[in-house]
Chain A
Amino acid sequence: MQTENLNDLLIKCSYCGYCEYVCPIYFITKRRVYSPRWRVKTYIELLNGVSIDKQSTLSLYLCLRCSRCIKECPAEIDIPNLVLEARKKLTGQLLKP
């Protein structure tokens, strides 16, 4: 998926939480910060240049990218792909001199 398309879809995330039910990480932790819906919001903050807190960063790396959330998302946001994009951005920030 093109990043531009992904970004177009992000605005449609209503934080409904349908993705949460199928997320294995949320199932184990029961912490909303480790849920797919918060990962989407974190990615939006990342795109907007907001500095991301450690817990939300950890959430992006805890994602197993199992893709179960895609089927549940009403806006069909490709959250696993988004997580990958987010990780790239975070790695890029770390590598900056």
Chain B
Amino acid sequence: MLSKDLVSKLRKIFGDRIDDREGELKCHSLDSAGYTGYTYLVVYPECEEEVSELVKLCYKYNVPIYPQGGLSSLTGAAVPYGGIVVDMSMMDKILEISTEDMIVVVEPGIKLVDLNRILRKKGLYFPVDPASQKVATIGGMIGTGAGGMRCIKYGVMRDWVYGLRVVIRDGIVLDIGAKTHKCRDGYDLVRLFIGSEGTLGIVTQATLRITNYPRSRTRILVNIQDLQLLGDVLKIARSGDWDISLLETIFEESTDILRRVFDDVLKPGINVIIDVDGKSSRESAEELAQHLTSIGCDAQVLNDEMAEKVLEVRRKLASIIIKEGKLGSMGEDVTVPPSKIPLLIKYAKEASKKYGLEVYFYGHAGDGNIHVRVQINEEAERKKIEAYIKEVIKYAISLGGVVSGEHGIGNAKIDLLKYEFEVRGSPYVIELFKGIKQLFDPKNIFNPGKIFRAD
């Protein structure tokens, strides 16, 4: 419980933007992965000063703080266990758009879809593209170090954040990074905060790099029957001869489930969607398709209508799998070096047979990030599914992969992250994490219990 003194002080700061009613507390205590916690209070700051005052008080009263964005985390990263939830949705303004410097300055609560809606009017966009763009906020994307479908060309969140304003212990405000494209001001604290899942402080402002929306983009659909051939497709596509901005793979089982809903879009087998950008993207795409056909693929350059349809089908895939599972599904985001994808998929498919599970594979093959989604058809299967997912992740680590490409660690992967560093002969990394946390948050009040367990 919170002290009356603290709540009364917070009421003076936040007025009616503070809530301790049951509904408000409960709806901020669960996430889309099914993690459920509890909290005592929800506050809605409108400015950095309020966040700083809140942190100052929480430090004084030793109360944990849980910052939240869209609450769409798949790892329990934003779920509170006591303390105060800081809902950042009211800090959602665009403070500056500079077309000359190609940057945008935003508050953390802005949703990605809203930011891009405004940027697109100027022919610009922020290209980090998680499927949850209508839910994801920039603050949450910084916290998780989000990725998405266009990483093959544009990279991930850490490649697009130039500067941050952050509130850390005792309400201290840090202004780190800059508006400049180059910045070598000592240690790179901006990147330290990206992917820190709210455990080091609360982001109150971000300076993001933006880019021009591509002049033209042409889509190819590649159908293959042999997993080994996928390795060649990836190699060719990544050779640097083409300006590729998307390379999504839908493996056989996922193709089958999509064909049950959209029977005229995909052929049976493995389907690879490739976007080619550039001034003359159609010519480039035709050249690439020809090349892929020559090695045994069925590659087609799509017209606009079909191109739209194919990507729409891909975006809906996870939803369709979830809908088909009797009790929903569980998903993972293991990542391996792209060349190891065929090995990972082969292993994961064989393991799924061993466990007797219904598993679907798809994802961002261009950057080695594969989503493994397992159907939950009966309650008793849950433990088996967890064991299966752990086995697949352990194999991915043995291939030089990592436990998470874009979803983060949260509660879900604490043990697996520890295991990963042990396998890599670097268990000390977790100790370093603890040391960094201690420096920014000596009382362990920022989103405690996430990424690693405190001693």
Contacts and interface: CB of A to CB of B under 8 A. Distances in A.
A96 interface: no
Contact of A33 (B27, B32, B72): B27
Interface residues of A, number: 27
Contact of B70 (A17, A31, A42): A17
Interface string B172-197: 00000000000000000000000000
B120 interface: no
B27 A38 contact: yes
B32 A30 contact: no
Contacts of A11: 327-328
B132 A31 contact: no
Contacts of B322: 12, 14, 74-75
Contacts of A72: 134
B23 A56 contact: yes
B207 interface: no
Interface residues of B, number: 34
A4 B34 CA distance: 23
Contacts of B87: 32
B381 to A, nearest CB: 14
Interface string B57-87: 0000000000000111000000000000001
Contact of A15 (B24, B30, B111, B327): B30
A12 B328 CA distance: 5
Contacts of A75: 319, 322-323
Nearest to B136: A17
B32 A14 contact: yes
B135 A38 contact: no
Interface string A15-48: 1111011000000001111010110011000000
From B89, B111, B320, B327, name the one whose CB has the most chain A CB atoms within 10 angstroms: B89
Given A12-B323, A14-B34, A15-B32, A53 B90 contact: no
Nearest to B324: A12
Contacts, number: 84
Interface string A53-85: 111100100000000000010111000000000
A51 B283 CA distance: 63
A53 B23 contact: yes
Contacts of B333: none
A61 to B, nearest CB: 13
A32 B328 contact: no
B359 to A, nearest CB: 18
B323 A32 contact: no
A52 B30 CA distance: 17
A21 B30 contact: no
Given A17-B70, A30-B89, A55 B113 contact: no
A18 B370 CA distance: 22
Nearest to B135: A17
B319 A55 contact: no
B32 A17 contact: yes
B32 A41 contact: no
A84 B263 CA distance: 35
B378 interface: no
B217 interface: no
A53 B21 contact: yes
Nearest to A12: B328
B318 A74 contact: yes
Contacts of A17: 32, 70-72, 132, 135
A41 B89 contact: no
B63 to A, nearest CB: 21
Contacts of B132: 16-18
Given A20-B135, A21-B135, A55 B32 contact: no
B277 interface: no
A12 B231 CA distance: 35
A15 B320 CA distance: 16
A74 B34 CA distance: 16
B304 interface: no
B44 to A, nearest CB: 7
Given A32-B71, A74-B319, A38 B23 contact: yes
Given A16-B72, A30-B89, 13 more contacts: A11-B327, A11-B328, A14-B328, A15-B32, A15-B34, A16-B135, A17-B70, A32-B71, A35-B27, A41-B26, A55-B23, A75-B319, A76-B323
Interface of B: 19, 21-24, 26-28, 30-34, 44, 70-72, 87, 89-90, 111, 113, 132, 134-135, 316, 318-320, 322-323, 325, 327-328
29 contacts: A12-B327, A14-B33, A14-B34, A15-B30, A15-B34, A16-B72, A17-B72, A18-B132, A20-B70, A20-B135, A21-B134, A30-B44, A30-B89, A30-B90, A32-B87, A33-B24, A35-B27, A38-B23, A38-B27, A41-B26, A41-B30, A42-B23, A53-B26, A55-B23, A55-B24, A56-B23, A74-B316, A74-B318, A75-B322
Q: Which 5 A-B pairs have the closest CB atoms?
A: A74-B319, A55-B23, A53-B22, A56-B23, A21-B134
